[in-house]
Amino acid sequence: MAWKNQGGSPWGPGPKGPWGSGPQSQGPKPSDLEDLLRRGQDRIQQLLPGGHMSGMGIALIVIAGIAIWLLSGFFRVQPDELGAVLRFGKHVRTVQPGLNYHLPYPIETVLLPKALRVSTLNIGMTVSDDSGRRGRVVRDVPEESLMLTGDENIVDVDFTVLWRIAPDGVGKFLFNIQNPEGTVKAVAESAMREVIGRSDIQPILTGARNTIESAVHQLMQKTLDSYGAGIMVQQVQMQKVDPPQQVIDSFRDVQAARADLERLQNEAQTYANRVVPDARGRAAQVLQQAQGYKEQTVAEAKGQAARFLSVYGEYKKAPEVTRQRIYLETMEHVLGPADKVILDPGSSGQGVVPYLPLNELGRKTTAAPAAPASQSGASR
């Protein structure tokens, strides 16, 4: 082979390595290393007062090193961060945004989690930015969104969880959980499935969203607190609640039929609300009229009975006088409205031919009602 002609080694005829299998490294020679150390000492002596290494110079070097070491403890916390100061690996305190100080390494170190930033977690869907359409693309994740309701129906639920690190839970967040986002996602999905499993499908699809969001929020916070996660759930928002895509058309038909049923029931109730009060009003009016007629009849009967008793009492006292008075009152009542001519059969009436002008009496009878009107006009 070709390398056999070059001294029996594949690396050429040069010097071999320490095991005889490779070229020997070309490091600095001992003389070069001594020159390098000598030049370093010369530079240090130039910086020291007096130009030579003395006790004072060593002390200054030590003091400068200590000062630099102490100054290395200053650090800055950004506005959306909180600083967790660790002393020999143990969390001792939490500092706020701004310029802060901790004992230099290795005594104390600092971790800077984004504790003041609210994180958003989508469950049941994935949201991505589409640069071509200049918008957001939402894709459904059936493995997370399909849930079983309490009445054994399937519902497709997409929701969003807003969470952040609790102000007093930075240490718990850093050391008690390994994957914060995965933990929040698992707890949120479990809480939503539990709440959906206790509810029927109809309230879930209509007016129970706020109740479900509140229940999931409370259950998530309780579970995370039991884990000691140091996470605070800000809000739970249900984005979409629909039946599965395979049966959504049939479900909409059922919803339309239920809407028609509710509309007809409302119309019937409206008609009943209009007719029943009217009938009740008429019934009350008839009852009031009957009651009034009853009271009037009873009062008249009582009055007539009282009058009869009073007349009877007077009659017992003076029968002739009472009989004559009753006769006169009766005749006055009967003959009062009628036109009449009285002929005295006495002496002055002898030889008089009775004449009764029936035509004139008839005209007087018809003209009698107009007389009061003419008199009233004359009085004006």
CA neighbor of 236 nearest in space, from 228, 244, 226, 224:
224
- Phi–psi pair at 203, nearest 5 degrees: -65, -30
Residue 194 pLDDT: 92
Predicted TM-score (pTM) of this structure: 0.50
Mean pLDDT of the chain: 77
pLDDT-derived band at 343 (thresholds 50, 70, 90) equals: low
Look up residue 191 and give its two tokens. Answer: 């809480």
pLDDT, average across residues 279-297: 92
pLDDT, average across residues 288-312: 90
Percent of the chain at pLDDT > 70 equals: 73
- Phi–psi pair at 233, nearest 5 degrees: -85, 120
Residue 203 pLDDT: 85
Burial class (CB in 10 A: 0-12, 13-18, 19+), 49: exposed
Asked whether residue 277 carries a pLDDT value surpassing 70, the answer given is yes
CA neighbor of 262 nearest in space, from 210, 206, 201:
206
Triad 167, 168, 169: Cα angle to 5°:
95
Of the given ranges (29-43, 127-141, 333-347), which has the lowest mean pLDDT?
29-43
Instruction: Identify which has the larger pLDDT, 78 or 9.
Output: 78
pLDDT, average across residues 230-247: 86
The residue assigned the tokens 């020999």 is: 88
Percent of the chain at pLDDT > 90 equals: 18
Instruction: Identify which has the larger pLDDT, 129 or 102.
Output: 102
Of the given ranges (2-6, 74-78, 312-316, 332-336), which has the lowest mean pLDDT?
2-6
pLDDT, average across residues 151-162: 88
Residue 296 pLDDT: 92
Cis before 106 (ω within 30) = yes
Residue 23 pLDDT: 43
Of the given ranges (127-131, 175-179, 182-186, 308-312), which has the lowest mean pLDDT?
127-131
Distance CA 61, CA 53 (A): 11
Domains and CATH numbers, the chain: 63-113 (no CATH), 119-245 (3.30.479.30), 251-331 (no CATH)
Residue 356 pLDDT: 66
* CB proximity list for 364: less than 8 A, separation 6 or greater: 339
Rg (CA), the chain: 59
